Amino acid sequence: MASNQILTVSQMQAAEQALVDAGETVSTLMERAGAGAADWIWRVAAGRAVTILCGPGNNGGDGYVIARVLAARGLTVRVIAPFSPKTPAARAAREAWGGEPVETAKGGVFVDCLFGSGLARALDQVLETRLCELAAAHDLCVAVDVPSGIDCDSGEVLNDTLPIYDLTIALGAWKFAHWMMPAMQLMGERRLVDIGVAFDWDAAQLAERPVLSPPEADAHKYSRGLLAVVGGEMPGAGVLAASAAMRGGAGYVKLYAGAEPGLVPPDLVVVHDGLDELLADERIAALLVGPGLGRSEEARARLAFVLGCDLPTVCDADALHLLTADMLEGRLSPLIVTPHAGELDALGHTFGSVGLDRVEQVSDLAEALEAVVVAKGPDTMLGAPGTPVVVMPPASAWLSTAGTGDVLAGLIASRLAVGMDSPLGIALEGCWLHREAARLAGPAFSAGDLLDHIPDAYGVLL
């Protein structure tokens, strides 16, 4: 089984070289990749004809292997070859296929083997048009390795108009583009073909679903973890975060509300004054600060006080705009920050990591803050000091509604209070609970509706 590692193009090339050094040839790797891809295409084609567009490099070479394998299984296969093969392995694959390319074709399955990880620039207009016309003329579109026209490492889409695929078959390992915006929008379903690439300790990972535990038989509310949520000027966000936290595993959640929070659930303990007294409770296992905190001087002082307590802490929302390096001096306890794109930018400016790409910025900030960074969005990415980034698989786009970030912060803080994993593992647990709750919530939910689905999401992860 291939691992869930995500490789850059240069890591992929090094992995391929390591296999060659160990006695494989590029042709045997291409054979394995092409045969694996052909298996998937065979399944989705279900007897329909297949048209393969082959480029000049080894991605085109994979296409010739696929053509040979599928033709041998009795499918009608048409190959379109705007270039002649330029690598020895691709030339050999074309020869082994032995057929005659056609000018055009329509109907059935279209397979894009034009360019893979070797794409060096945007497709020219003629190729872009040809690719789009062929895709439109077929019932189903499959990209081999990656769709042609995207940058594997950054996930950038280099052409204005590209097809949207039904299936993308990654070869050897995932590339960042499979899981990063905007390229991931073109991929459709994603499948990975193993070609024997070794595990790379320096590689990013696609997050795997964690397994959570139910409480011990002798559990009590404090042994499961006491979480204090420190709110501020806009108490609704704190109530939402605390309500999520109550369902995320912690045994006891207290909300310090800076302002009168209005309606609160009867099972949420709300404290109105005496923050220092509240935080002096030695039973507190974790803190959450930020949702609804505000950005006033008072909010800044409250944040500094909370961080000064040196307890395991999640910082979200307003706290991320107020956070400065001096507030973190001398801290030893774990810190998890959960910025969306705007907050990531703000942190980047405060902590001197601007002008980097998203992957670099997340890693850089994790080092600078000595914290786990959960960079939220359609392609949520997590960084921790000394560890390659971890990318979450996509979640429901219905999460794009106000307040769902407060729910996530509450869930991560709840897991931090439970405290059964590393800070990175804890942040991932929160992200998975959030993702599963959103999946179970179906369409058009509000952040409040999401709360109702957390218990079942928890059930999925037990």
Ligand X SMILES: NC(=O)C1=CN([C@@H]2O[C@H](COP(=O)(O)OP(=O)(O)OC[C@H]3O[C@@H](n4cnc5c(N)ncnc54)[C@H](O)[C@@H]3O)[C@@H](O)[C@H]2O)[C@@H](O)CC1
Annotated binding site for AMP: 376-380, 405
Please report, for residues 306, 310, 312, the alpha-carbon distance to residue 280 in angstroms, rounded to integers and kept in the order given. Answer: 11, 11, 14
Q: Which of 408, 412, 433, 454 binds ligand ADP (CB under 6 A)?
A: 408
- Residues of each annotated binding site for (6S)-NADPHX: 58-62, 116-122, 145, 237, 292, 340, 406
Q: Phi, psi at residue 166, to the nearest 5°?
A: -85, -30
Q: What is the distance between the alpha carbons of residues 212 and 381, in angstroms, rounded to a whole number?
A: 21
- Name the segment binding ligand ADP (CB under 6 A); options: 14-22, 28-36, 257-265, 393-401: 393-401
**From 16, 112, 151, 316, residue interacting with K ion (rule: CB under 5 A):** 112
Instruction: State the DSSP string of 106-169.
Output: -SSEEEEES-STT--SPPPHHHHHHHHHHHHTSSEEEEESS-TTB-TTT--B-SSS-PPPSEEE
By a kind-dependent CB cut-off of 5 to 8 A, residue 112 interacts, out of K ion, ligand X, ligand ADP, none, with K ion
Is the preceding peptide bond at 182 cis, omega within 30 degrees of 0? yes
The answer to whether the beta carbons of residues 385 and 378 sit under 8 Å apart is no
Catalog residues that contact ligand X under the rule CB under 6 A: 12, 16, 29-30, 33, 55-62, 86-87, 115-121, 123, 144-145, 171-172, 195
User: Residues binding ligand ADP: what is the number (CB under 6 A)?
Assistant: 17
Measured over the CA atoms of residue 306, residue 310, residue 314 and residue 318, the dihedral's sign is: positive
Q: Which residues pair with 284 in a beta bridge?
A: 226
Select the binding partner of residue 172 from K ion, ligand ADP, ligand X, none (C-beta < 5 to 8 A, by kind). ligand X
Angle between helices 358-369 and 341-350 (to 10 degrees): 50
Q: Does 448 bind ligand ADP (CB under 6 A)?
A: no
Among ligand ADP, ligand X, K ion, none, what does residue 378 contact (CB within 5–8 Å per kind)?
A: ligand ADP
Contact pick of 366, 404, 451, 453 for ligand ADP (by CB under 6 A):
404
Q: How far is the CB of 414 from ligand ADP (least distance, A)?
A: 15
Q: What H or E segment, with its residue span, contains residue 13?
A: helix 9-21
Closer of 38 and 408 to ligand ADP (Cβ)? 408
Query: Secondary structure of the chain: what % helix, strand, coil (to 5)?
Result: 40, 15, 45
* Least distance from ligand ADP to the Cβ atom of residue 458, Å: 17
Q: Which of residues 141-170 bind K ion (CB under 5 A)?
A: 143-144, 148
Nearer to ligand X, 87 or 380 (CB): 87
Tokens of 296: 């006033």
- Residue, CB closest to ligand ADP: 405
Q: How far apart are CA 427 and CA 161, in angstroms?
A: 36
Residue numbering of the annotated binding site for K(+): 59, 112, 148
Minimum CB separation from ligand X for residue 15, in Å?
6
* The binder of ligand ADP chosen from 104, 161, 324, 400 (CB under 6 A): 400
H/E element, 434: helix 423-441
Residue 25 or residue 400: which is nearer to ligand ADP going by CB?
Answer: 400
Q: CA angle 370-376-378, nearest 5°?
A: 145
Binding mask 322-361 for ligand ADP (x = CB under 6 A): ------------------x---------------------
Sheet of strand 189-193, all strands in order from the earlier edge strand to the far edge: 77-80, 50-54, 109-113, 140-144, 167-171, 189-193
Nearer to ligand ADP, 163 or 339 (CB): 339
Residue 144 or 152 having the CB closest to K ion: 144
Q: Which does 272 bind (CB under 5 to 8 A by kind): K ion, ligand ADP, ligand X, none?
A: none
**Tokens standing for residue 224:** 């499961």
First and final C-alpha spacing in the chain: 24
Among 62, 145, 364, 406, binds ligand ADP (CB under 6 A): 406
Q: For binding to ligand ADP (CB under 6 A), which residues are involved? A: 317, 340, 376-378, 380, 395, 397, 399-400, 402-406, 408, 434
Binding site for K ion (CB under 5 A): 112, 116, 143-144, 148
